[in-house]
Amino acid sequence: MDNNHSSNRPRPRKRVSKSTLRKRQLCALAVIALLVLLLIVLVAKACSKDSGKKGGDTTPTEPAVTTQLTTAAPQTTEAPTTTTKAIKSGPNEDSGFKLDKYSIYIDVGDSGIAYVQQYPEGSGEEDEVWTSSDPKIATVDNLGHVTGVSGGECYITLSTKKDPTKEVNIKVVVTGKSNLSNNNANSEPQQLAEAPAPPKLTISGVHYEGDTLIVNKSFSLPSDYNPGGLEATCSEWFEKLKQGAAKDGINIYLSSGFRSYGYQDQLYNSYCRDYGAATADTFSARPGHSEHQTGLAIDVNIVDDSFTGTPEAIWLAAHCYEYGFIIRYPQGKQDITGYKYEPWHIRYVGTEISQKIHEHGDDYTLEELYNIDSEYKS
């Protein structure tokens, strides 16, 4: 036996003065308060991370943590601004819904479903309203069956007709290759390349090569395709591009971004009147064939040949790929893209594709990358 065991015996209690006791109580309270605060900060941090992009499996902890946050938030005097984001992507305490999962991982062409476990305030399935934040990535029917359309992430939102303000979001991650319309009409030797060709998809009249939306003389957009402006990611990266240019003393600015079908219709027809259709076709797109209708194309600075060779044009050609953009109609590629050289017209494709194009050379085109043509069929 060693001496340590003697501490197990009850010790005689020391007498403690009232003031010392109060001091100790205050100390203990302070420590507890500090611990609680630390816990809240940790939970808030964990949740704000979770609300961003996150791969991995369906984790039951994700919704649990979010629910904790919704109750914890009002207690803290300075609730972090990120909490609203976290609440949006997980179950909401007063949403009136409880689902068996809050994220769905499916392959392109496959389906998944999130079952509603409790539905206390609704009147049944007829009352459910299911919507997809991006039907290009996943669609959902009125029973909550989710179908993967193309690779990416989006949200499926469940609300009710009775009270559309109550809603819950389910994260959908679509992965894998498509089993859908693989219309590989072009079986050229290029397909011997090691990497499998990305799936070719046409969804509601919109053509995709892998994740890349394609608009050229062969592929058009429906007249009602209207993102209402530049796509958010495109905008975001264009801002980064401008900042990057500014650091190098180069001023890049937007001259023309999104153009609707109707506007392009007017524009093209006025060019036809002035120059004739044959000439107009070399520099202006027919309605539905303009990349500007995608919300992913931007004309910068001076939109005519005087832009060629300026420090801005040279910087743009050399650096735009770093920000996910490509010079869409490079010099000497008119036979391939269908358009003459436009050093001012950049197209957002994301950094993965822009990097690929850059590796082939900055005059490489989407038509060459995906082995597609650009010709009006009529």
What are the catalytic residues?
342
Neighbours of 277 (CB within 10 A): 13
In terms of DSSP H, where are the helices of 73-114? 83-89
Quote the least distance from Cβ 223 to Zn ion, whole Å.
19
Quote the least distance from Cβ 306 to Zn ion, whole Å.
16
Report strand pairing: 103-107 vs 167-175. parallel
* 197 sits in which H/E element: none
Nearer to Zn ion, 197 or 254 (CB): 254
Quote the least distance from Cβ 94 to Zn ion, whole Å.
47
- Does 299 contact Zn ion by CB under 5 A? yes
Count of residues that bind Zn ion according to CB under 5 A: 2
Nearer to Zn ion, 151 or 295 (CB): 295
Nearer to Zn ion, 217 or 345 (CB): 345
Backbone torsion region of residue 331, taken as left when φ is above 0, otherwise alpha when ψ lies between -120 and 50, otherwise beta: beta
CA distances from 328 to 177, 210, 219, 320, 334 (A): 26, 18, 15, 11, 11
Binding to Zn ion (CB under 5 A) within 163-202 occurs at: none
Nearer to Zn ion, 119 or 283 (CB): 283
Give Rg (Cα) of the chain: 29
Task: List Cβ neighbours of 185 (8 Å cut-off, separation of 6 or more).
Answer: none
Please report how many Cα atoms fall inside a 13 Å half-sphere around the Cα of residue 223, on the Cβ side: 5
What mask of x and - would describe binding to Zn ion in positions 317 to 356, judged by CB under 5 A? ----------------------------x-----------
Binding to Zn ion (CB under 5 A) within 60-99 occurs at: none
Quote the least distance from Cβ 283 to Zn ion, whole Å.
9
Nearer to Zn ion, 154 or 234 (CB): 234
Quote the least distance from Cβ 297 to Zn ion, whole Å.
6
* Strand segments (E) across the chain: 98-99, 103-107, 111-113, 116-118, 128-132, 138-140, 145-148, 152-160, 167-175, 200-203, 206-209, 212-214, 254-256, 297-300, 325-327, 345-348
Interface region with Zn ion, contact rule CB under 5 A, candidates 163-171, 200-208, 281-289, 292-300: 292-300
Residue 49 one-letter amino acid: K
Nearer to Zn ion, 134 or 299 (CB): 299
Quote the least distance from Cβ 292 to Zn ion, whole Å.
6
Q: Which residue is nearest to Zn ion (CB)?
A: 345
Partners of 305 in beta bridges:
none
Task: List Cβ neighbours of 342 (8 Å cut-off, separation of 6 or more).
Answer: 283, 299, 327, 328, 329
Nearest-angstrom CA–CA distance, 26 and 34: 12
Binding to Zn ion (CB under 5 A) within 244-273 occurs at: none
Nearer to Zn ion, 65 or 303 (CB): 303
- Which two tokens mark 178? 């498509």
Nearest-angstrom CA–CA distance, 292 and 215: 9
Partners of 129 in beta bridges:
159
Quote the least distance from Cβ 130 to Zn ion, whole Å.
37
Nearest-angstrom CA–CA distance, 351 and 358: 10
Binding region for Zn ion (CB under 5 A): 299, 345
